[in-house]
Each structure stands twice: as C-alpha cells, then as structure tokens.
C-alpha cells in the first residue's frame, strides 16, 4: 500500500444520490468497497481489500469518536456518526455514516457494514468545533490510553450537556 498523503485543505464532494458502502471483518479490515467508495477515496478495490478502514482516517477526527462507534457496534447496535475522511490525494470529504454489525445465523457478529451519505452542512458546522475540542483534549496527554479516555470523557460530557442521548443528538444537529 502506498504511503498516506499529507492532508490538504481541499474539500471534495460527492452526489447526494451516491451511497458509499463498505464492509469489514471484526478487526476493521476492508472486505468490500463499492465503486463510489473507491472513486471518492482514490484507491482501487484491490488496494483497499484487507486494509484497515482507518486508511481513510483524517487526522482531524478524534479517536474518541471512533471509540464511541466501535463500542456501539461491538455491543451489537447500530450507530450514526459524522466523519471526516481523507482521500489518497490528501483531500478530505465529510460523510454521515450508518454503521451496523453483521450477524451470522446464530446471532454472532461476523463483521460490520457501513453506508455513508452526504451530510447536512449545518451538522458539519456543528460537529467541527466539537471534534476540534475533543482532539485538543486528546493532544494534552502523551499516553495514548490517557488521551483516548480524556477525549472520550469530553465527548460524553458534551452529549450529556445537550440533554438527550447520543442517538437522538446525532439527528438533531
């Protein structure tokens, strides 16, 4: 896999009619990527297979947001989240992600499925300062575990201050 690019300040957009789809195994390695995903992120399907989904992680995304996401889906529940991703070029794009666990016939989680759509701009304007604040909190700690715990506390404090559960808040933005 090619080395990751340096992030740019250029935002790229995709059509509201497009749906980005990917599937991963239990460790978050990509097992399926649709054409829209490949075209937007700039990697071929072959290049993406077996790679960690974090290959498109933008450095502006706090680790705490992904902890919330992983904790939820590993508990067998769906989650919605606003995510800033980075294309191979270093350009970025925002998505409104719906991530669900995939189950086998016995009810065991065997992987994860994600559909991503174009987000509402007002939601991106609402989460951008929150994500920056959570990221600043994470950066105050040299130890990775401490950083993640502090960022996660800050994220949950924000959610609690809104007076509604995360699942409702994400749709209220």
Kindly state whether residue 82 falls inside one of the protein's structural domains: yes
pLDDT value of position 12: 97
Residue 13 has pLDDT above 70, yes or no: yes
110-160 tens-digit pLDDT: 999 999 999 999 999 999 999 999 999 999 999 999 999 999 999 999 999
**36-59 average pLDDT score:** 97
pLDDT value of position 1: 52
pLDDT value of position 70: 97
In the chain, what percentage of residues exceed pLDDT 90? 97
Kindly state whether residue 40 falls inside one of the protein's structural domains: yes
Task: Please enumerate in sequence order all residues whose Cβ is within 8 A of that of 3, keeping only pairs 6 or more positions apart, or say none.
Answer: none
Q: How many domains does the chain have?
A: 1
DSSP symbols for 68-107: HHHHHHHTT--EEEEEEEE-TTS-EEEEEEEEEEEE-TTS
**Cα 10-11-12 angle, rounded to 5 deg:** 120
Can you give the length of the chain in residues?
173
Kindly state whether residue 37 falls inside one of the protein's structural domains: yes
Two tokens, residue 116? 């991503």
**Would you say 49 and 25 are in contact if contact means Cβ atoms under 8 Å apart?**
no
* pLDDT-derived band at 5, boundaries 50, 70, 90: confident
In the chain, what percentage of residues exceed pLDDT 70? 98
Kindly state whether residue 64 falls inside one of the protein's structural domains: yes
Residue 3 has pLDDT above 90, yes or no: no
Kindly state whether residue 8 falls inside one of the protein's structural domains: no
Kindly state whether residue 73 falls inside one of the protein's structural domains: yes
Kindly state whether residue 3 falls inside one of the protein's structural domains: no
What sign for the dihedral angle of Cα 80, 134, 25, 87? positive
User: What value does the mean pLDDT of the chain take?
Assistant: 96
pLDDT value of position 131: 98
Q: What is the pTM of this model?
A: 0.94
**91-118 average pLDDT score:** 98
Q: Which CATH number is 108's domain given?
A: 3.30.450.20
- 107-144 exposure pattern, b = at least 16 Cβ within 10 A, e = fewer: eeeebbbbebebbeeebbeebeebbeebbebbeeeeee
> What is the domain extent for residue 33?
20-119
pLDDT value of position 107: 96
Rounded Cα gap, residues 146 and 162, in angstroms: 25
Which helix (H) or strand (E) segment holds residue 167: the answer is: helix 166-172
**Would you say 69 and 82 are in contact if contact means Cβ atoms under 8 Å apart?**
no
Kindly state whether residue 104 falls inside one of the protein's structural domains: yes
């Amino acid at each position: 896999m090619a080395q990751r690019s340096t992030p740019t300040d250029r935002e790229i957009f995709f059509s509201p009619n497009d749906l980005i789809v990917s599937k991963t195994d239990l460790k978050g390695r990509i097992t399926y990527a649709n054409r829209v995903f490949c075209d937007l992120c700039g990697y071929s399907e072959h290049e993406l297979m077996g790679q960690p989904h974090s290959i498109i992680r933008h450095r502006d995304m706090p680790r705490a947001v992904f902890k919330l996401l992983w904790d939820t889906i590993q508990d067998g529940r769906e989650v919605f989240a606003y995510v800033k991703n980075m294309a191979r070029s270093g350009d970025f794009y925002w998505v409104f992600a719906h991530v669900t666990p995939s189950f086998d016939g016995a009810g065991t989680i065997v992987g994860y499925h994600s559909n991503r759509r174009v987000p509402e701009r007002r939601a991106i304007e609402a989460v951008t300062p929150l994500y920056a604040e959570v990221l600043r909190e994470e950066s105050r700690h040299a130890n990775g575990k401490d950083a993640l715990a502090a960022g996660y506390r800050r994220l949950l404090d924000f959610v609690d201050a809104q007076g509604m559960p995360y699942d409702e808040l994400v749709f209220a933005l």
